Amino acid sequence: MQNEPEEKPEDMNDLRRVSNMINNYSVTCSEKADKRYLFKIKVVWLSIITLFSVLATFVFCVLWTILFKLEDATSTHCGYRTKNYLPTISTAVGNYPVQRFLWTLVIIAHSPVRLIVVGIYYQYYTSIIKPSLHWCVILLRFLTTVEVFSLVVLSIFTSSNNYSIHEKSFMTFICASELNMLISSILLKKGRITITVMTKLEVRSLKYKICFTAFNMISFAIAGYCFLRHNNYCESGVYTLFALFEYLVVLSNMAFHLTAVWDLSSVSLVLDDDLNLSYR
């Protein structure tokens, strides 16, 4: 029998070197995979936490004002001869120190998150809307950004300390939010690329967007009518109806924005090793 050829020392060293390289590469890749990001959160949870923090603050401000400042908060130019039972939003969140501090703090704190979601929505719309309508997508991004900043301004400059700025900011907020809701609903209904197929969550989202948009506009129209009627006739209860429908305008606007949990259900916000913020 022939003896099997012995492995040379050089060959053994080469094999060990290659084996070590493979092992080192595997360990490096594994460690790198574990360090792809420092922070990751679903946009769904980001939207829920952000909007419910605003909702909770809104409810607290209104209830606190009703419990402790109702008579003062519901007094108007009509005097005490007309009985009212609800304060307006501007009064509830802006006329008293505790409520004003909490509301302003939450609105300023939640604004960066809202702007991040605006950027994510911009990418979402450009991927599903016809290229010929991308100017509408740019318009939507502008309107939503204006909506966020005008909300901050009208929260800082309240009706009691600077009525002129507050009034202009409020009108800007209303116009931007109404147009944003209307254009979004129409664009998602009529402007989608033909080859795209809506998921069940997107169908649900669009259905509720249309409902909240219609409800918001009707509520705003009724609130405006009650405001004018109260100013002209000073009837008991009309100011209360104005405040109630004003609440419904704000709540339906929040609900509209909460539909992001269906549109962006698969998107996460990621902070990587290099402190770059992105979404995937």
Question: Does residue 61 fall inside a structural domain?
Answer: yes
Sheet holding 37-42, edge to edge: 37-42, 268-272, 277-279
Instruction: Report how many domains make up the chain.
Output: 1
pTM confidence score? 0.83
Rg, the chain, Cα only: 28
Question: Does residue 63 fall inside a structural domain?
Answer: yes
Query: Which residue in the block uniquely carries the two structure tokens 């606007």?
Result: 253
How far apart are alpha carbons 174 and 4 in whole angstroms?
89
How far apart are alpha carbons 210 and 161 in whole angstroms?
37
Question: Does residue 42 fall inside a structural domain?
Answer: yes
Q: Which helix (H) or strand (E) is 148 found in, with range? A: helix 134-156
Do residues 115 and 152 lie in contact, with contact meaning Cβ atoms separated by under 8 Å? no
pLDDT tens-digit readout, 120-164: 999 999 999 999 999 999 999 999 999 999 999 999 998 888 889
Which stretches of the chain drop beneath a pLDDT of 70?
Answer: 1-37, 80-81, 273-280
How far apart are alpha carbons 39 and 50 in whole angstroms?
17
Quote the domain boundaries for residue 97: 38-279
Question: Does residue 255 fall inside a structural domain?
Answer: yes
Question: Does residue 29 fall inside a structural domain?
Answer: no
